[in-house]
Structure 1
Amino acid sequence: LKLINLELQKLNYKKEELLSFIKDTDVFRKLKFYQKELAKLESELMKLKEGLRVIDVIIDKENEKQVLNKEIEDTIKEIRDISNHTEKNDKYKLIRGLFSKYFAEVMDEDTYISWSINSNNNVDFKPPVIKTKDSLSKDTAKDEGRTYRKILCVIFDLAILVTYNIESYFRFVYHDDVLSQQDNGIKIRLLSLINSVTTTYDIQYILSVIKSDLPIDEDNNPIYFSKDDVVLELNDKNEFGTLFGFEF
């Protein structure tokens, strides 16, 4: 009987150990389950936080958009106000006046520049209009030609530089191939105007021209620039005649 009781005690002890193990295993299983659930909740929480951040960004961008729209509206209003009162814009009047004056000196024709506001509320700079010299003074299509456009560009640049000469502004300009295909009289008058304007207003003017495009005198001889006015002479004889003094 004692042996049986001892054996029962051992078995009961073992039973308790086994029950304890079973309970512990169940706890681990529950722990893993809750860990997975917690991970899911943390993932959802991160998504929600990211969603909130995106919402904040959208709100900020919407506020920026409203500010920009207000600035655009104010700018459009300002531009329209300027457009409706160009007579009060002294610089604009001076540029227009100089442009017409310089063009008449070179081309012996009347022209004017203008601008307007298009349907998109942007400034639309129209090509300068050239007037005929007859009594009807009609608009012509001369400004559509390449040679006329080159002269118009030169005249416009000079008018801008002179207008802003007393302010902190560019004091130099570069024009390429301006004399090409121009009438000899136009070449002479244009160079005379350039010399007068640059000397009077201390503007650095850079012009590139090939020998065959130089104006000629009454004896058909090329009228060369003075040596003081020539910065660089180029040729294709050797690398020293290139712009940078060497060939690529």
Structure 2
Amino acid sequence: MNIIPRPTPSNMWGRMKPSKLYSSRPAAFAAVEFEPDLNVVLAEIRLPENRDRDTHNLGKTTLGRLLDFGFLAGRDAKFFLFKHLDRFEDFVFFLEIELLDGGYVTVRRSVAEATKIAFKKHVARHQDFSTLPDREWDHIDVPFDRAKELLDSLLDWRAVKPWHYRKGLGYFLRSQEDFRDVFQLRKFANSHADWKPFLAHILGFDAELITRHYAKEDELKEKEQKALTIRQELGGEIEDAGKVDGLLLLKRQEVDKKQQLLDAFDFRSQDKSDTKQLVDQVDERIAALNQRRYSLNQNRKKVIASLEEDQILFDPEDATELFREAGVLFSGQIKRDFQQLIAFNKAITDERRGYLVEERAEIEVELKTVNSELNSLGKRRSEMLAFLSSTDSFAKYKRLSSELVTLRADIEGLERQRTFVQRLQQLRTDIRNLDEEKTHLQAAIEADVEAKNADVGSLFSRIRIFFNEIVEEVIDQQALLSVVVNHLGHLDFRAELLNDAGIATSADRGFSYKKLLCIAFDLALLRAHLDDAFPRFAFHDGVFESLDDRKKENLLAVIRRYTGLGIQSIITLIDSDLPPRDADEPVFEPSEIVVLLHDEGDNGRLFKMKSW
């Protein structure tokens, strides 16, 4: 943190504060000249019918929004100036700000051309440059982003570096929406990494450790996501680089062998391999099948012969004629015996013949199968012999080249897989290293928070003391401002009311007390940074709302005491929220009321026009 020597109160009190807000149309928007200490925007509800209304649209809240506009808030279509462009397009606003060196800068910003900014530095306060020619401005039509950088350098709030001046401006221009949480402003709706390091910094902690921890966390998540993507791309394939390298080695050896054959145009090695396959496999099978076919053919001949032998060639009638011619008597009885014998033998022969026919059919089927396989093997043998005896080497070259292409495609796929695996292994190494570094950073953050909590002289200890003093003075109840490191290594900021036993209560959850805690935090923060180049103003809208009269008096006393320390306070309120006083004892001095609003016509509004 940059520390500057603390100036004397007379020189210090007027610095780094809004000094004047005015417009190019003073009849519609009267100039607001801010005092270095207490500035009150008071809205009087004079019409009885308006006293019970929640909102009155007089413009007390609008003043804070205009200050933010002058401090170069980004253009938002919901912002009232742009939402009602038909009403405000011809307005040009001027914000005079007192600087660290005691001089002033006036920022000119129009509604019609809100991204073109003009600047002028000057010595005297409460100037009116609404009619100043362009040539007399120091910088004219500065582009918006460049204008913010220029204003950042002019304000020179070194205590918030390396952050931009707008980063924490919401703590000192609290809108109603910003009273919902002590620490997380409405504009901090994005990730905690965007605002927690800044808040830690202005509370006195080592913000660099926290920023680095978030960065490591983001880097770790990115690496883990990449590792997951690669695992999905691998789709269950090998994730071990050693195994992939082994497969690549074998494939490359095979490629080298085939490439050498092609380079030498020598196919003897391949011929030898094919010849061995021919001899060992094809010829042996053909020989076996030929032997089987020979055996089957022999059996087939035997079956056919047996079928022919079973025919009975003896005819009794022929035998009778033969015996007659020979003069031998062949009686009828002998003829009948021969016929009976023939009938018996025929019965036996028919049964045996059935078996032989069945056997021949089986032999025929097997012979058909054997012949088919022999034909196939013969064709294959012819092709292999053709390869061996071919004089056309190009055919062999073509075959080996095709095999080589396939192998190289396999190698390319394995190399791609190895690349994924190597990236995955490197990511795993990075993840382990990042996780270890994140753990070390978390330990360092925990040590830093513990040390700052234990050091009664630390910036954070002073802030929490001032915070408790304010709350206790207003509501007679202690409040604890604490910062702890959660299990993820992130800072958790807490602002809690304590009961008599020192235990946190739920009272801070009510809106009125939540607002009080916000006000107390802002003032404590400003007081703790009085010795630094840091803002010294706070705008609080509806400061007394929902508090009882005694607490209002107490809070006003705190605000006056803090303005006495050099902190400019700009507060808005409705007259019904004023603490009761005697008529001869007004709550505010006339000089403290910088804007007086009322509900008796348009002239009582901040903008002297109909409500929008």
TM-score tier, shorter chain, comes to: 0.5 to 0.7
- Tell me the C-alpha RMSD between the 2 structures: 3.0
> Cα distance, 1:75 vs. partner?
4.9
Unaligned residue ranges in structure 1 (runs of 5+): 1-57
Does the alignment pair 1:130 with 2:498? yes
Residue 556 (structure 2) aligns with: 191
- The answer to whether the 8 A contact 1:175-1:206 is kept is yes
Bigger RCO (CA 8 Å, 6+ sep): 2
> Cα distance, 1:224 vs. partner?
3.4
Does the alignment pair 1:150 with 2:515? yes
Indicate how the Cα distance of structure 1 residues 81 and 236 shifts in structure 2: closer, same or farther if over 3 A, else same.
same
User: Which structure is larger by alpha-carbon Rg, 1 or 2?
Assistant: 2
Indicate how the Cα distance of structure 1 residues 102 and 129 shifts in structure 2: closer, same or farther if over 3 A, else same.
same
Distance 2:533 2:463 in 1: 17
Indicate how the Cα distance of structure 1 residues 138 and 237 shifts in structure 2: closer, same or farther if over 3 A, else same.
same
Residue 87 (structure 1) aligns with: 454
Residue 444 (structure 2) aligns with: 78
Residue 568 (structure 2) aligns with: 204
- The answer to whether the 8 A contact 2:477-2:497 is kept is no
- The answer to whether the 8 A contact 2:530-2:536 is kept is yes
- The answer to whether the 8 A contact 1:216-1:222 is kept is no
Indicate how the Cα distance of structure 1 residues 82 and 245 shifts in structure 2: closer, same or farther if over 3 A, else same.
farther
- The answer to whether the 8 A contact 1:176-1:209 is kept is yes
Residue 10 (structure 1) aligns with: none
- The answer to whether the 8 A contact 2:495-2:517 is kept is no
Hey, which bits of structure 1, 4+ residues long, moved more than 3 A? 65-78, 136-139, 219-224, 244-248
Partner SS state of residue 173, structure 1: strand
Partner SS state of residue 245, structure 1: coil
AA at the equivalent of 2:533: S
Residue 504 (structure 2) aligns with: 139
Deviations along 1:184-228, one digit per CA (max 9) or x if unpaired, are 11001110110011112x1110100001000002x5999431111
Indicate how the Cα distance of structure 1 residues 68 and 222 shifts in structure 2: closer, same or farther if over 3 A, else same.
farther
Indicate how the Cα distance of structure 1 residues 220 and 150 shifts in structure 2: closer, same or farther if over 3 A, else same.
farther
Indicate how the Cα distance of structure 1 residues 84 and 242 shifts in structure 2: closer, same or farther if over 3 A, else same.
same
- The answer to whether the 8 A contact 1:106-1:189 is kept is yes
Distance 1:76 1:112 in 2: 24
Distance 2:443 2:551 in 1: 42
- Identity within the alignment, %: 29
Residue 102 (structure 1) aligns with: 470
- The answer to whether the 8 A contact 1:214-1:223 is kept is no
AA at the equivalent of 1:126: R
Deviations along 1:124-167, one digit per CA (max 9) or x if unpaired, are 112323222xxx45432211111111111111111100000110
Residue 600 (structure 2) aligns with: 237
Residue 216 (structure 1) aligns with: 580
Does the alignment pair 1:172 with 2:540? no
AA at the equivalent of 1:130: L
Give the structure-2-normalised TM-score.
0.27
